[in-house]
A and B are shown apart, each in its own frame.
Chain A
Amino acid sequence: QVQLQESGPGLVKPSETLSLTCTVSGGSMSSYYWSWIRQPPGKGLEWIGYIYHSGSTNYNPSLKSRVTISVDTSKNQFSLKLSSVTAADTAVYYCARGITGYGDYWGQGTLVTVSS
């Protein structure tokens, strides 16, 4: 059974960089897309971007200038960096495995609050 687990700071100061890592267990990272999706408290879902196991990426145009997603298949991990954060970036951040464009396995999510 594939499992994903997000990790990283729960509090980030405005203008700083949010950094999260997702650790994948129970399966290979090959042949799948690995995504980051976020959900502001009480609101809907936003697809941030994804990375293929080979390293190719695609980012949401609304965040593209601030987002970097990277992968380390040797550690079964992929990561998210979001720069110049503001309060609007406060959200639960989920990592997910994507197959054919949908998220079939998700992490439990981690709340990141942007505040000084």
Chain B
Amino acid sequence: EIVLTQSPATLSLSPGERATLSCRASQSVSSYLAWYQQKPGQAPRLLIFDASNRATGIPARFSGSGSGTDFTLTISSLEPEDFAVYYCQQRSNWPRTFGQGTKVEIK
């Protein structure tokens, strides 16, 4: 099973700042990595798939990069609605696995 490790666990930032979230895989997942946003009481929402492709309706301030074992989700300028928990997920191997999450909180 591929283990995804996200860092940091918590990111404290102010609106307008840039957020950089990391996801590291225990073995190569090629570009088969997605990012999700989850707000309290809601289901996860797909933001980025295949490392760098924005899902339908996702604002351009969200971008993804990386391949192999190291991936990054960048939010260029945080909006109030962006404060949430973010998960990475790989589809390279079965079972599909998620990282433990990074919480982006208001500083």
Residues of A within 8 Å of B44, CB to CB, are 45, 94, 103, 106
Q: Is A27 an interface residue (CB 8 A)?
A: no
A97-114 residues with Cβ-Cβ distance < 8 A to B are 100-104, 106-109
Assess the B98–A46 pair: CB atoms within 8 A: yes
Assess the B95–A61 pair: CB atoms within 8 A: yes
Q: Is B64 an interface residue (CB 8 A)?
A: no
Assess the B98–A103 pair: CB atoms within 8 A: no
Q: Is A7 an interface residue (CB 8 A)?
A: no
* Cβ contact of A44, chosen from B34, B50, B87, cutoff 8 A: B87
Assess the B96–A47 pair: CB atoms within 8 A: yes
Q: Is B49 an interface residue (CB 8 A)?
A: yes
Residues of B within 8 Å of A46, CB to CB, are 98
The count of chain A contact residues (Cβ–Cβ below 8 Å) is 19
Assess the B99–A102 pair: CB atoms within 8 A: no
In angstroms, Cα B46 to Cα A108, docked, is 14
Chain B window 74-101, contacts with chain A (Cβ cutoff 8 Å), 1 for yes, 0 for no: 0000000000000101010011111111
In angstroms, Cα B80 to Cα A74, docked, is 42
- The chain B residue with its CB closest to the CB of A43 is B100
**Looking at chain B, what size class is its interface with the partner chain?**
20 to 34
In angstroms, Cα B96 to Cα A103, docked, is 11
Assess the B99–A44 pair: CB atoms within 8 A: yes
Q: B57 to nearest A CB, angstroms? A: 11
- The chain B residue with its CB closest to the CB of A61 is B95
Given A44-B100, A47-B98, A60-B95, decide whether A102 and B42 contact each other with a Cβ distance below 8 A: no
Q: B48 to nearest A CB, angstroms? A: 9
Q: Is B13 an interface residue (CB 8 A)?
A: no
* Cβ contact of B98, chosen from A44, A58, A101, A108, cutoff 8 A: A44
Give me 10 other A-B pairs in contact (C-beta within 8 A), A47-B95, A94-B43, A104-B56 excluded: A44-B101, A45-B44, A62-B95, A94-B44, A100-B91, A102-B91, A104-B49, A106-B44, A106-B45, A107-B43
